[in-house]
Structure 1
Amino acid sequence: MNNSLLKVHRILLLTVLTMLMGCTESKVKKVDQLPNIIYVLADDLGYGDVGIYNANGMIPTPHIDKLAKEGMRFTDAHSSSSVCTPTRYGILTGRYNWRSTLKMGVLTGKSDALIPPSRTTVASLLKKQGYHTAYIGKWHLGWNWAKKKEGIDEGAGWNYEDFDNIDFSKPIKNSPNDLGFDYAYGHSGSLDMAPYVYVENGHATALPTATTENKEKYSWWRKGPTSPDFVHEQVTTNFFNKGIKYVKEKANKDRPFFLYLPLPSPHTPILPLEQWQGKSNLNPYADFLMMIDHYMGRLDQAIREAGIEENTLVVFTSDNGCSPEANLKLLREKGHNPSSIFRGHKADIFEGGHRVPFIIKWPAKIKAGKVSDEIINLNDFIATAAAITDYQLQDNEAEDSYDLMPVLTGQNLDRPLREASVHHSIDGSFAIRKGKWKLAMCNDSGGWSYPNKNNKKVLATLEPVQLYNLKTDPGEKENLVVQFPDIVNELQALLTKYIREGRSTPGAPQANDGPSHWDQLWWLSSDQLSH
């Protein structure tokens, strides 16, 4: 090769190397600048249980209130459903829960995985964008326990006998690790659902050697196999401690981290540690919440001491409203209403079932002390994560998730972020919210509060659907369905469109999962609602 050609080759080689180094440096710089993300999900925490949300609240929550004062709180945030499993599905996938194969109710601690590995989750998205991802806590989205024998007729997981065929010595399949989590540690269902076994990265940390059951009023849990390292009273603190340890270990590393910390509390069993018992002067539920607030303070302290506060995004919210198991009657008699001014509670289609506290802090981007009345949904987390990391969502990803960044950064919006938001209750009832109007496609609570499916004589006297003006009637007391038939038909048509197109965001129509059940929804084929 002559000198001229050699020189040209050297120049080309140097140019290519420079470009590659530049790309590498740019990517590293980009990853270094991305925020750490911590998502804390309380279980059955009511909108009015957090002090800063309820001027008449009786439970001190100074650390959660502080988080709100240093960040932004939303007054009109909603879980996808008014019960546990469906909301968790929506948070991780950005998809309405009823698009999955689970059309109503919740899973048990024995249920198979609800989310297939092929579906994008916020964990798999962030992992692809350079994050180390971890889940620590209550899963309640199903995973596949190993079986001793195939082909045996098994129970659903509500009774002790249902667990005889599980082989706890073998790894689970379709685990959180298969959905994008580098590290996964937790238990399969709610803390009152057997089996009571910790699973770490697909393997039980200890084999169950005993059977436990608690029948006490507040602290009950179902009978089931229990591992020696699984102590119900210690589970909440165990998750917090592991979460704090994770933050300390991953702080200031060469890649950002995402910690999903779904708590099993203050859901039953209500188990405040001894030093918190009686602290609230209300009841054990309030004591339990005070304990959670304390550990939120410890988590905040760990973030500060690690020197990562400025560029760490922290979310605190709840999967649905407060449960009647908290003894709502007693709390209300003592002046505390977990639903604040709103009607209903966990399981219901009413606001108390799905309106939740939503607090987000990110000093680098969000001004302290901001309050937003924007209507948002917990499903919006994944689209927000995509925007933060410059990930382009495809048509078959996060079909019901909206990017919150314009609101978080204080941009002036010329229209609402969401066109509308869909709500869902434990029995599969739908509601749709657009602006001040909320249309519930049922004439009962859709859940446990009055009137419910058991109140047949009362329901026979009511209109088939419910329309409320939440601006003038946040307590949902006056059904306006007869006065505003045009609004009813408009919202019914929009809800029908969202269901049939498999998405509520712009994009190509998608298929809903599972066997068709839409024939149960009489209003899908109705052009007009008869009153």
Structure 2
Amino acid sequence: MKIKSTLFVVGAAACICCAKAAPVSKPNIVIIYTDDQGYGDMSLLNPESKFQTPNMDRLAKEGINFTHGHSGGTACTPSRYALLTGRYSWRTKLKTGVGNANEESLIAEDRLTLPQMLKDEGYNTACIGKWHLGMILPGSFRNYDWSKPILEGPVDRGFDYWFGIPTSPKTICAWFENRGLAPGAAEPTLLTYHKLNGDLGPRWRINQPFYEDLDDQPKETIQTTRFKNEAAPDWEDSECLNRFTDKAIEWMQGKEADVKNGKPFFVYYALTSPHEPVAPTEPFIGKSGCSGYGDFCIETDHHVGRILDYLDESGLAENTLVLFSSDNGPEHTWKERIPEFGHDSSGVLRDGKRSHYEGGHRVPFAIRWPAKIQAGRVWDKPVQQPDFMATVAEIIGTKLPENTAEDSQSIADILFNAESSFEHLPLIAYNNRGGQCAITDGKWKLVLPGQKKGELYDLDADIGEKNNLISKYPEVAEALQAKTTDIVCNGRTTPGPKASNDTGWWKSIAWMSPEEYKANHPEGEPLISQTKGKKDKSKKKK
């Protein structure tokens, strides 16, 4: 795909310039990425919200509020892969589920990532917070050698610096930096099962005290024995947000001199909230009137505000592009909050996390860049997080290789042209549990047939996906199915040479036969079984 290298600038009087803009300095870039935050958990998007998110709302009002913005997946690992590579993760071996803490990276070593692209263009790059894309830890359960380095983590995929945790705050809980434990951090030598969360709501915590042996844990504290978690003596799940925000600000402060000398920075600030464990700190407990979850959302908003305040106070805000979004819709406990608290984390959307329906992947999505983007705009047509890589490439004037970011379409014209007529290529949504696919093209959305019957919705008229129109418009469904087949078999959404998916046929694309897939995407014998979890355990047809 040909990448433009000129910008269209919105002037101070909100005039739209139709000529080529003069060269501009490359912006600092900050991605603020929340975890399991639903469309209805941002008060600007949900007039019925039981709590307010003034900092998130402010960011959207000071830039562009994308009300039809989508994550690239419907759960943690798939969405992060798509954001950082511009490629859907269902093209990899990971067909359903999410990655584990200690396994090879889902991002192949030779795949260009967003941070590596920016690093190659002279940026300082940092990842702060949750990774959840795989890394090889030095050892295995209860048998680690922390004198040896972590491999295939963030610093091997384009980041100069990482401070954070391998996955969500569970499994292995300690404070990590770059290729090992953070300086002064304790080793994760203790154990705990998931704990009950008391008055803060259902589900679990990974908090003190921890134990030398799991038999020592009082049964009345256990939420489930399904997971055995390793934890460091200095670990506390409620400290994640404070530590991540402190470290992000500290790192940016350390790069201010470089910015003044023309070397910008990129920060991927990946929070662990409001994903479980729901762990608000004392100043926020009871503030939302919507359980510990609402309190946690308020605390998350507070930390978003800390980042924005730092950018303002440091004088960096004007030339810093900030993307704010969430990795997917809300965890299934959103259903329980509706009758108990009158709060719907999915807002007007159907379903939540892992779902191919809108509530699984239409998420809060806003972009602010005061120097170049007119404030107060709303864009109500589809865009998606994988677009960010191609968009940034256009902004900084670099061309993406043809075998890179295959599902990333630049939305730079939307950013700089308030009268943009931009139309997005079709988007694919993918159920992270059942693997069912859906395609959105303009106002139409088709849930592909195969494992279940097909469904067709007019999202302009029916955002809640209640009225299935497939029997009324079979020709629309047929055309959308053909487009989906092309996107899957071509290995890419964007124009360019045919690319390769990483596996053969799998049952989530059952609207086409293994033979049809292989004929259009020859890569070896088709895989018949559904791939689940971290490893590709499917058996090849003989």
TM-score by length of 2: 0.82
Alpha-carbon distance, 1:165 to partner: 4.5
Alpha-carbon distance, 1:213 to partner: 3.3
Aligned to 2:195: 215
SS in 1 for 2:104: coil
Matched residue type, 1:210: L
Matched residue type, 2:164: G
**Taking structure 1 as reference, are residues 442 and 345 closer, same or farther at Cα in structure 2, changes over 3 Å only?**
farther
Pairing 1:76-225 to 2, within 5 Å after superposition = 76-147=68-139, 163-191=141-169, 193-205=170-182, 206-216=186-196, 217-221=202-206, 222-225=227-230
Q: In 2, distance between residues paired with 1:47 and 1:306?
A: 31
Task: Check if 1:420 corresponds to 2:423.
Answer: no
The alignment of Structure 1 onto Structure 2 pairs a total of residues equal to: 462
Q: In 1, distance between residues paired with 2:281 and 2:203?
A: 13
**Taking structure 1 as reference, are residues 224 and 414 closer, same or farther at Cα in structure 2, changes over 3 Å only?**
closer
Aligned to 2:281: 273
Counterpart pick for 1:516 among 490, 504, 507: 504
**Taking structure 1 as reference, are residues 426 and 292 closer, same or farther at Cα in structure 2, changes over 3 Å only?**
same
Q: Quote the sequence identity (%).
A: 40
> Cα deviation per residue 1:412-466 (whole Å; 9 max; x = unaligned)?
44451x221111111321100001110112589xxxxxxxxxxxxxxxxxx7111
Counterpart pick for 2:240 among 221, 235, 242: 235
**Taking structure 1 as reference, are residues 520 and 408 closer, same or farther at Cα in structure 2, changes over 3 Å only?**
closer
Matched residue type, 1:136: I
Gaps of 5+ in 1: 1-28, 148-161, 445-462
Task: Check if 1:246 corresponds to 2:248.
Answer: no
More helix by share: 1
Aligned to 2:519: none
SS in 2 for 1:264: strand
* Alpha carbons 1:171, 1:204 under 8 Å: kept: no
Aligned to 2:49: 57
Matched residue type, 2:501: N
Q: In 2, distance between residues paired with 1:298 and 1:252?
A: 21
* Alpha carbons 2:63, 2:375 under 8 Å: kept: yes
* Alpha carbons 1:112, 1:145 under 8 Å: kept: no
> Cα deviation per residue 1:276-316 (whole Å; 9 max; x = unaligned)?
11111111000001011111111111111111111011111
Alpha-carbon distance, 1:220 to partner: 2.9
* Alpha carbons 2:172, 2:231 under 8 Å: kept: yes
Pairing 1:481-500 to 2, within 5 Å after superposition = 481-500=470-489
**Taking structure 1 as reference, are residues 314 and 485 closer, same or farther at Cα in structure 2, changes over 3 Å only?**
same
Q: In 1, distance between residues paired with 2:93 and 2:450?
A: 25
Alpha-carbon distance, 1:142 to partner: 0.4
Q: In 1, distance between residues paired with 2:146 and 2:171?
A: 13
Gaps of 5+ in 2: 1-21, 197-201, 207-226, 517-542
Task: Check if 1:70 corresponds to 2:62.
Answer: yes
Aligned to 1:10: none
Counterpart pick for 1:471 among 457, 460, 472: 460
Alpha-carbon distance, 1:128 to partner: 0.5
* Alpha carbons 1:283, 1:331 under 8 Å: kept: no
Aligned to 2:312: 304
Matched residue type, 2:414: V
Query: Which has the greater radius of gyration?
Result: 1
Q: Indicate the RMSD between aligned Cα atoms, in angstroms.
A: 1.9
* Alpha carbons 1:252, 1:308 under 8 Å: kept: no
Q: In 1, distance between residues paired with 2:29 and 2:399?
A: 19
Following TM superposition, the consecutive aligned residue runs of length 4 or more in structure 1 with deviations greater than 4 angstroms are none
Matched residue type, 1:65: D
* Alpha carbons 2:413, 2:422 under 8 Å: kept: no
> Cα deviation per residue 1:199-228 (whole Å; 9 max; x = unaligned)?
211112332131133421344344311123
Q: Bigger CA drift: 498-507 or 250-259?
A: 250-259
